[in-house]
Each structure stands twice: as structure tokens, then as C-alpha cells.
Amino acid sequence: MQPGNAGANKRRYMPGLDGLRAIAVLAVIFYHMNLGAVPGGFLGVGVFFVLSGYLITDLLASEWRQQGRIDLKSFWIRRFRRLLPALAAFLMTVTAWTLFMNTSQLLTLLGNVLSAALYINNWWLIFHQVSYFDSFGPPSPVGHLWSLAVEEQFYVLWPFLMLLGFRYVKRRGRLFGLILAGEAASAVAMAVLYVPGSDPSRVYYGTDTRAFGLLIGAALAIVWPSAKLTEASESRSRRTIDLIGGAGLLTILVMIWRVSEFDAFLYPGGFVLLSIAAAAAVAALAHPASRLGLLLSWKPLRWLGTRSYGLYLWHYFVICITNPVIHTGGINPALIVIQFILSIGFAELSWRLVENPFRSGKARQMWTNILKRTILSHQANHRRASHRWRAVAWTMPLLIIMILIAVNRDLIIHVSSATSITDSDTVQIPGASTEGVSRPSGPEYQQQPDIGRVDTDGNEGSSRKEVTDKTEVPIPVDNSSEPEAMEKPDSSELPGNAEKPSSITAIGDSVLLGAASELEELLPGIIVDAKIGRQLSQAAEAAAELKAKGKLGSRVIIELGTNGLFTKKQLRALLESLQDAHQIILVNTRVPRKWEQAVNDTLKQVAADYANAVVVDWYKASMGHDSYFQKDGVHLKPKGAKAYAALIASAVGPITE
């Protein structure tokens, strides 16, 4: 995530690598902005790992060849000088922002900040079981720093191992083989520890399971040292280099465009494929004869690449503080542009005021010059003023944020109202009755969401009936959020409901739990079995228990997907277990998390294969209705619960059996 450091030895500048950095950091930024065009944007981190492994090993190998030794102290000083000042400025700014603007998250943030400062954030997240993919509640503005921890751990350990390798393994081919063996062990660890259908955050965060990317880059540096690459190459060699590099770059771009975090193939081998593709691109871009290198040396790309570390640090914080707490209106292009401009602005300030001055060792001189041009001419005590302005310099990002606050007061409202309401917390759900509702107690409140993977066993089919807000029973649109202000629909208007009301059963999670009393009003006698944190994988068991008790009706409502993705195979198994039901009503989801679209697509595609299944489109019906939702953007206010219940009730078909 940062430019290579020439270190003690002057090395050839490889501008094409800055272009590759720009592509990688842009992919990560657009992924965090939730742009659907780059579902695999998170793979940019894997590209950075390969780049870091190559550049660091190339630096160490060059120093060994030239001097016959590796100056570990000098290496680490250069690394810390390059990384720590910018990180410190960022963490101080985030902490100050949270202290003044979002104190509810301060205690949680402090653990993240301390672990990030010590470069152990990835293991802190693993230990506390913090998911990268299915975290609920407001996102942490430092949640992306896990990758910096992986890289810094590599920087600490790898020079030792390379020193031993250069000293005791004389043949370059053997050293290359040993590094590849380490890479294979890491890749196998990821494949073995990954459990399909479960949250993959352990293998995603782990240094042991992500080291293969760094090691693939390191192995490349052993057999492809930049110092020995010259422009004197035959035309055929150039074509081969460009062909290999182009294939690698194309693979990276296609994976960013087509692969999502829910593709199961990533963990048994997909990440390794990405790393090999990145190594192929790096090999071509490092060669001075490469025409691909000239293409990626385009000045705007190089400019972004040199500031990729600052962009990576600041972009997620900008996104977190500018995103509205509740937003049901889809993508906001104006907001995305503003976020991108602010991210670049912070990155440029970081580069000019912190990163470049500290890396070059000119930080003290630069701040002294600034001091002389501003304050020293008006102060009698120059030394005292110097100390004062050093403190000001370190807090400049905070001052910029405060200016932004003054300009946009709505931002204050959005940020200060953010709270962490999760399915694993004790959620106050308005209007939920106790009769006929299965409520969690004790350890179930701590149930962790179980996220599934997308499989490819389903075929596209014509969409069956999708119920939206344009059905026969209108969704209440009264502006009041009080339950009594809403006119109750006459249950006689609902088709067939009064005939055999006890033949309707609803199975769901906390969203359904929040609308239980409204459903009971509209569908008298309905059996509602809803539990906080429930996954679709648990629905078949719940249905079997209800059937054994004689409480499984001929109309079954399934509302699941709030807490994570499920596979088409899992959904089909559930529908097959309910094959005797006359109607199965699948309610899709609105949840501001990555799996939202995948859940809704899976429901739509699988329901098309079952004649007794219908999809209720809550996502479409709730679009533009921010007032329906609690502060987490998922759980319902009284107004939203009534609209939700009316939409579901309108889908229940006539009961004639």
C-alpha cells in the first residue's frame, strides 16, 4: 500500500509499478464505496501483498549482492520512517473525531487503534471474532488496517529469514524453491482452515493464511532481480514479457470485475491465482523494455500510485464519516465524487506534510521553514513558537475535518446518530408481541451470524410473481411513526385470511420479530417463529419442529437473509422440505451489507423453479423510505413494521383446502 523504498542502495525507478498500485488502491476504494461494478475490489489488497513481497526482497537481495550483508537496523528505520508517521497522524485524527463526534464507539475504537499502532490488528480482529464480510452496525473507520499489520509483520520477520537464506543457501534455485515451499504451506493452510458456508474472516485476516501473496512476490524477486533487467532485449523477448504481463493484468481486472467475496473458489485457490497473476504483471512492469510498463506509467496513474499509502489510510475514514446512517435510495453519485475528492485531498496532505518529509529526513527542516514564513516574524520567542507550531502541524487533519463539519451540518447529524445495533445485541424491537413468537434468551443473544457462500448450481429462469408496494393491499404511507396514527387495514380485505387463519406460519429472524404483532393483526392466528441471529441454514430444523407440534401451516412465510448469505443448494433443500406446503412466501432483504444483492438474487432465481413459491420484494417496496428503519438501517420502526406486515399479508393466497 505504499511506494517502494530505495533504501540505502540507489535502484532503478519502475514507474509502471506505481500504475499498478493506483489500479489496486482504486479497486479497494470503489469496493468500499459499494460500487457494484467492482465486487472484487477487495482483491486489490492481494495485489499489494505481491508488490510488497517483490520490492522488499529485491531490496534485501540487492544489498546482499553489493555489500555481502544486510543492515537490519537501517532497514527497519527506513520502514518505520516510511510507515509510522502517516499512520500516527491518521490514528490521532480518527481518535479525536470519535472522541468529539461519536463517543458511543470510543471504547471499541481504542482496541482497534492500539492494535493498529502495534501492527497486530489482524490478529486482534481474529481473536475478537470481528468479521470482515458480515459485520453488523456502523463500520469501524480503522477496520481496513488489518492488511498493514500483515505487511509490517512480514517486514519484521522476513529480513531475518533472508539473511539466513543468503548466508546458508548458496544456490539461488534452491532458495527460490524454499520460498515457494513456504508459499505452498500458506496456501494449503488457507484451503484447509476455510470451511465452506461459514464466515471466512479467520483465513482472510491471518498472516499465516495470507503470507503466500508476499512469498510469491519474494520468490519472483529471487529469479527476476530488478537490477539485472536491462532494455537490451530482442523483439521476441519484449513480446513475451508484454504477453505474460498483459495476461496477468487482464486476470486481475477480470477478477476485480467478476469475483465477489462470496465466491467459494477464492479460498481453495482463487487468491493464489490472483497472486500469480499479480506476479506476472509485476515481472513485466519491472522490466525496462516492457511496453506495458510504459502504458501504466501514465502520469495520473503514477501520481495516484505514489500516494497509494495515504489513499488507503484515509479513504475508509472519509467513507465512514460521510455515509448517511440510513440510506434506501441506492447509489448517490454526488456523494461518491465528494468522498473520492476528500480521500485524494487527505492523501495529498499526508504525502506532502508527513510521508515525504519523514521519509526523506527533511521533516524538521520543512516545518522550520513553514514556521519562519508564518509565525516567527510576529513572535519574539522563536523557540517557543516552534514547539507550538509543531503541535499544530500534527493536528492539521483534525482542523480540516472540523472545517468540513462547519460547512456541512447534516454530516454532524448523520455521524453523531450512528449507533451499533446488531442482531447479536439485545435489540429493542418496537411492537413485537410475546404470543406465538419464539424469542431468544441467554447465550442466543450472542449468536454470531453464519455467512454462506454463493454456489453455481442454480440456473437462470423466468421470474415468478414478485410482490412490491404496488399490490392490491396498499402499504401505509402515513408520515407519523406512532402505531396508533396508522389506520389498521380491515382483515376481511385480505384474500382468504379469515377462512383458515391458523394455517399460516412465519419463520424468520429479528426483522420478522419486529413485525410480529402487526402480522398477527392482519393475519389472525398466524404462528410466528422468529429468533434473533437466525440463519436460513437453521430454517429447516425450525420447520421440522413446528411440524412435529402441528404448528406448520399450509402457507409458510420465510424471512431470512438479514444475517448473511446462503447457498442456492441450502435454499433448495429448505423448499424441498416444504414441498407439501400450498404456498411458500420468500421475503427478500434490505440490509446495508455486501450480501444484500446476493441474497435477493438467490431468492429470485431459486423461487422461479418452484410453482408454490413467491418472492415478496421488500427491498423494492422499502426503497426511498428511510423513515421505516431504525438507526442500523435494518430493523423496523413502527411505521416500517406496519408497511412490512401489509406487504407480506398481501402475498398470502386464498386458503381453500
Active site residues: 510, 632, 635
Residues recorded for the chain: 657
> Any residues with CB less than 8 A from the CB of 569 and at least 6 apart, and which?
455, 457
Q: Which of 200, 41, 45, 207 is nearest to 121 (CA)?
A: 207
Give the rounded distance of the alpha carbon of 113 from its chain centre. Answer: 18
The DSSP 8-state label assigned to residue 534 in this structure reads -
Q: In a 10 Å sphere around its CB, with 0-12 CB exposed, 13-18 middle and 19+ buried, how is residue 444 labelled?
A: middle
Q: Which of 470, 509, 463, 507 is nearest to 621 (CA)?
A: 470
Residue 546 CB neighbours (<10 A):
18
Three-state DSSP class for residue 579: coil
The DSSP 8-state label assigned to residue 31 in this structure reads H
Q: In a 10 Å sphere around its CB, with 0-12 CB exposed, 13-18 middle and 19+ buried, how is residue 391 labelled?
A: exposed
Using CA atoms, how far residue 442 sits from 151, 330, 429, in Å, is 40, 37, 17
Q: Give helix 396-407 / helix 382-394 axis angle, nearest 10°.
A: 60
Cα–Cα distance for residue pair 386/376, rounded to 1 Å: 8
Using CA atoms, how far residue 594 sits from 53, 134, 598, in Å, is 29, 8, 8
Q: Are 292 and 247 within 8 A, CB to CB?
A: no
Q: In a 10 Å sphere around its CB, with 0-12 CB exposed, 13-18 middle and 19+ buried, how is residue 657 labelled?
A: exposed
Cα–Cα distance for residue pair 357/581, rounded to 1 Å: 70
The DSSP 8-state label assigned to residue 475 in this structure reads P
Q: SS in 3 state form for 402-468?
A: HHHHHHCHHHHHHHHCCCCCCCCCCCCCCCCCCCCECCCCHHHHHCCCCCCCECCCCCCCCCCCEEC
> Any residues with CB less than 8 A from the CB of 362 and at least 6 apart, and which?
none
Cα–Cα distance for residue pair 91/141, rounded to 1 Å: 10
- Strand 613-616, strand 466-467: pairing: parallel
Give the rounded distance of the alpha carbon of 599 from its chain centre. Answer: 17
Q: What are phi and psi of 527, to 5 degrees?
A: -95, 115
Q: Which of 573, 473, 453, 577 is nearest to 522 (CA)?
A: 473
Cα–Cα distance for residue pair 267/261, rounded to 1 Å: 10
Q: Which of 187, 214, 207 is nearest to 279 (CA)?
A: 214
Cα–Cα distance for residue pair 601/354, rounded to 1 Å: 46
Three-state DSSP class for residue 508: strand
Q: Which of 652, 656, 657, 642 is nearest to 495 (CA)?
A: 652
